[in-house]
Structure 1
Amino acid sequence: MAARDPESKCVIKFPDGVYCGSKVRLQGNIPPNAQRFSINLQCGPRTDFQEQVALHVNPRFNDMNVVRNHYAGGEWGREENSGGMPLSKDADFKTVIECNEQAFTVSFNGKHFCEFAHRMPYHRVTHVMVDGDVSLRLVSFPSTE
């Protein structure tokens, strides 16, 4: 599913909801002219920020960091942006986000990047949305077995 155009968005439902141990894996390519893209674990399928977002992962190449946040009640929470930029433009990437009891863990290209403590009940998450400067090849939900 291509999502290079900022207006182009990919929304996929978690097949079994989100629970401790659930994962989403994304693989794709970041174009050479990328500015930013986002991965949102959200509480519904809408693409216009009318849904609550339990985790917003937003690589920003112009700032060379990855912003993490949540969105609830029509407002963004406190941004987290430590860790630098683990991704490169004009390159393939793999991202895995896993849910545990305390936080979502995010890895890029097989390396742990961060944890984002739950700010809302994770079991309310129903969909993953990806948009911005990225081309996706795969979105999957590996089992924990």
Structure 2
Amino acid sequence: MALFKAPFRTAGFFDPTRDELDNCDLDIQTPEYTREGIQLAPGCMITLAAFVLPETEHFIVDFMAPQKQIALHLRAKLNDRLLAMNSTVAGKWQSEMKVRELPLRKGRAFSMSVLVTTKAFLISYNEEHFAAFPHRMPAESVNSIGIYRGLKLAAVYYEVDYKYSPLRFTISEADSDKAAASSAASIYSAVYPQLPYRMSLEGVDKTGGGFFSAGACLLITMKPDFLAKTLNIAFTRVDGQPAVDLELYVNHSQGRVSLHSESKVTKDCSLWSLIGLNRRRHVDICVCCTDTAMRIFICHRPVFQATRDQLQSLWGRVSGLSIAGNADLIVAHFSRRG
């Protein structure tokens, strides 16, 4: 049973501090990316969005402290499908921890987050919790990060005062080997594509899948251009007719989001505190479906939800996605499990 945790900020955290490392405009291939001057504390989260190069056997992410100490060493072994975690003291390795069933594949995009708590580092892939590593030294001692080998980085950034919502979406998942085989054709990823961008899912009319179906999850991260006024995300049905049209007004004067379902306005709310004040911030969008409902999160804030019955004419029949506007589209990732 896999759990998708839908993150958003509770009251008091709707206008978070998010600092961008290198303006999230990397588009570089490791062997080495380092960043000094990082200050960690409980509630901080480092996130990277990247593409695993096809020839990659492993990659490394290190959280480093002074005097050659490593507070957290993550080595993702793609061939063995495991994550090895360790730390060093005075240059000497300590006991290693391993977690198997690593959900990464060569030639695919992914996001990885490391959340700092008072007791441990929590590691997530594609918004799903995967592993925990208890602190062996104070997290506050970390002052740099390093990313090595086998990745094409699209974004590296960190957040403070990060909170997980208690809300969880339960997505049934078959045996891991069967799931990998059956879902391989249901995963679409793009890192740094150009706008306008289009994604079309195949076989929706026959399988009843699509963007609005049980186990479907669409993750989009973009950074609006300084002169941007609107960003448009449109879904279409298999017959080519409009399904849901999500429009973000990102200019300073409005900072609003409106959602149209089959040409009818169904939602209009203000996100000015999130996307109106600073266009350099990321806009994170998550569309996630369970067996019974669909929810849309923008900047980690729930802005729309509908039951399967309310979406009866659209459920299992939405196959097209288009994104337009003035923005840097960092990651567009769709997966469907089950």
**What's the TM-score once normalised by structure 1's chain length?**
0.87
Partner of 2:157: 140
Mapped to 2, the partners of 1:3 and 1:76 lie a distance apart of: 27
Identify the match of residue 33 of structure 2 among 10, 14, 21: 10
Q: Per-residue deviation at 1:62?
A: 2.5
Mapped to 2, the partners of 1:14 and 1:112 lie a distance apart of: 27
Partner of 1:91: 108
- Residues 63 and 145, structure 2, Cα contact 8 Å, conserved in 1: yes
* 1:55-94 pair list within 5 angstroms: 55-94=72-111
Q: Does 1:105 align with 2:134?
A: no
Question: CA deviation digits over 1:53-73, x for unaligned, max 9?
Answer: 100111011222110110112
Q: Per-residue deviation at 1:14?
A: 4.8
Q: Does 1:41 align with 2:67?
A: no
Structure with the larger RCO, 1 or 2 (CA within 8 Å, 6+ apart)? 1
Mapped to 2, the partners of 1:9 and 1:99 lie a distance apart of: 23
Give the unaligned 5+ runs of structure 2: 1-25, 163-338
**Larger radius of gyration, structure 1 or 2?**
2
Question: CA deviation digits over 1:99-141, x for unaligned, max 9?
Answer: 1010000000110001100011111001111001111110001
DSSP 3-state at the match of 2:140 = helix
Give the unaligned 5+ runs of structure 1: 45-49
Q: Per-residue deviation at 1:13?
A: 2.7
Aligned residue type for 1:101? T
Percent identical among aligned pairs is: 24
* Higher fraction of helix: 2
Aligned residue type for 1:34? T
Q: Could you say what the CA RMSD is over the residues aligned between the two structures, in angstroms? A: 1.5
- Residues 86 and 96, structure 2, Cα contact 8 Å, conserved in 1: yes
Aligned residues, how many?
Answer: 136
DSSP 3-state at the match of 1:123 = helix
Runs of 4+ off more than 4 Å: none
DSSP 3-state at the match of 2:99 = coil
Mapped to 2, the partners of 1:82 and 1:36 lie a distance apart of: 14
- Residues 83 and 113, structure 1, Cα contact 8 Å, conserved in 2: no
